[in-house]
Amino acid sequence: MVVTVVRSLGSARRPRTAQELEDFEQELIDQFALALAGSGVSDDVVASDRSVVFQFLKFVGRPVWTVETADADRFLVAQRKRGLARSTVYQKAVRLAVFFDFLIARYQGDIHALTGYVVTQPIDEFNRPASTDRGMLRIPPAEDEVDALFAAWRDSLPETRKFLPAARDYFAASLWRRIGLRISESAMLDIRDWRPDLGEHGKLHVRFGKGSKGHGPKTRLVSAINSVDALVEWWLTDVRHQFGDDWADPDAPLLPSERRDRSTGRCLRAGPNALRAGFSDAVALWLPSWAGRLTPHVLRHFCASSLYARGMDLKAIQELLGHEWLSTTTRYIHVHDEHVERAWAAANDRVAARLHGEEE
C-alpha cells in the first residue's frame, strides 16, 4: 500500500477555499491510515477502514469535522435498509468509531484551530449496533447426538457415490469435532503440516491460524489428541493418495479438491465453502434435527465443551483452540446442569473428607 506524503497539520494555516478544505480532510484520513499501518495492521484492513470512512463522508455530504450523531444514525439505518448483514453494519460502525476516536485524540486542537469546529464522536452508546455475538449462544448438540452423526457418516462412506470428497469432508469435520480446528485453518493445511515426530501423539502445524486486528495469521502446533493421530494415519494411508500422485509432495494440500490445476495437473485445494457444504449435507442426512443449526463453528464449541467435561483444564483448551484470551475460551464451554451438580457434590466430598481427617 502506498500512502501519500502529508504535511504537518499542526503548522497548517486556516483553509480558505473549498479545495483547501477538501485537501485538509484528505490529510486527516491519510494520517489515520499511516497510524494504522504503524500499528502493524495489514494493508487490506487499512484499505477497508479507509473505504468505510469515504463511504460515510460521501453519504453525509459535508466535511468530517461537521459530522453529528444524527448523521451516523441516518447512515446506519441506510445500511440496514440496503439489506446488509448485521455483522457488516456492526463492523462499519466500529471502524467509524475508531476513526473519530483517532481524530479526537490526535487532531482535536488542530481541527478546531483550522476550522472552528469541535469534532465529536458520532457513534455512541445509543446508535452503536450490538455485537453480532451478543446473545447468540452457540450451544452444541449432546455428545450422543454428535457420536451418532459421525458413526452414521463413517459407515456410509463405502457406499457413497463420490467417495473421495465425502471422505475428505468427513476427515475435515472430524478435525473440527476432535481438536476444534477452524474451517479456514483446516483448509490451509499441507501434507508437511502433519508432524508425527512431535509429542506423544504427533502435532498439526497450523500456519494460518486466526490473527487479531489485521496482524496476519497466527501459527500454532496442535496436539493430535482425541484419536486425531489415528484419524490422520487413516487419511494419509488409505485415502489421500487416491486424489492424485501429489500425495508424496509435502507442499500439496492435505485436503485436496477433485479439480486440477490446468497448468500443472495437480490437485487444487478444497476451499472452506466446499467443506462447509459437505458437512451441511451430512448433518441433513444423519442428524436432521440439527440441519441448518450445526455449523463448523458450533462443532468447535462442541469440541471445547466435550474436552472440558472430560476434565481438560481451560488453559489447555485455550491453547488447543488458538485463543488469545482465556475469557474467549470460557464462552466456548457449555456444560449441562448435571455437570454443575457433580462438581458441587465433588467439592462437598472433598470438604467432608478434610474435616473427617482433622477430627481423627
Distance of alpha carbon 132 from alpha carbon 301, whole angstroms: 17
Helices first, then strands: H and E counts in the chain = 13, 5
Whether the pLDDT of residue 349 is over 80: the answer is no
Please report, as a single letter, which amino acid is at residue 343: A
pLDDT value at position 6?
A: 43
b vs e for 14-44, b when ≥16 Cβ sit within 10 Å of the residue's Cβ? Answer: ebeeeeeeeebbebbbebbbeebeeeebbee
Share of the chain above pLDDT 70, in %: 85
- At 30-76, the pLDDT tens digits run 999 999 888 877 788 888 899 999 999 999 999 999 999 999 999 99
pLDDT value at position 343?
A: 57
pLDDT value at position 58?
A: 95
pLDDT value at position 229?
A: 96
pLDDT value at position 43?
A: 82
Whether the pLDDT of residue 11 is over 90: the answer is no
* Rounded (5°) CA angle 25-216-268: 120
pLDDT value at position 64?
A: 94
For the stretch 103-109, contacts whose Cβ atoms lie closer than 8 Å and that sit 24 or more positions apart, written own/partner, are 103/28, 103/32, 103/64, 103/65, 106/31, 106/35, 107/9, 107/28, 107/31
CATH number of 143-342: 1.10.443.10
Whether the pLDDT of residue 12 is over 70: the answer is no
pLDDT (mean) for 111-139: 79
Predicted confidence band of residue 215 (pLDDT cuts 50, 70, 90):
low
pLDDT value at position 132?
A: 54
Q: Who has greater pLDDT, 325 or 206?
A: 206
pLDDT value at position 212?
A: 62
pLDDT (mean) for 3-13: 46
Among 157, 183, 179, residue whose Cα is nearest residue 170? 157
pTM above 0.75, yes or no: no
pLDDT (mean) for 92-105: 92
- At 278-316, the pLDDT tens digits run 999 999 999 999 998 899 999 999 999 999 989 899 999
Whether the pLDDT of residue 2 is over 50: the answer is no
Whether the pLDDT of residue 88 is over 70: the answer is yes
- At 183-209, the pLDDT tens digits run 999 999 999 999 999 999 999 999 988
pLDDT value at position 34?
A: 92
Whether the pLDDT of residue 181 is over 70: the answer is yes
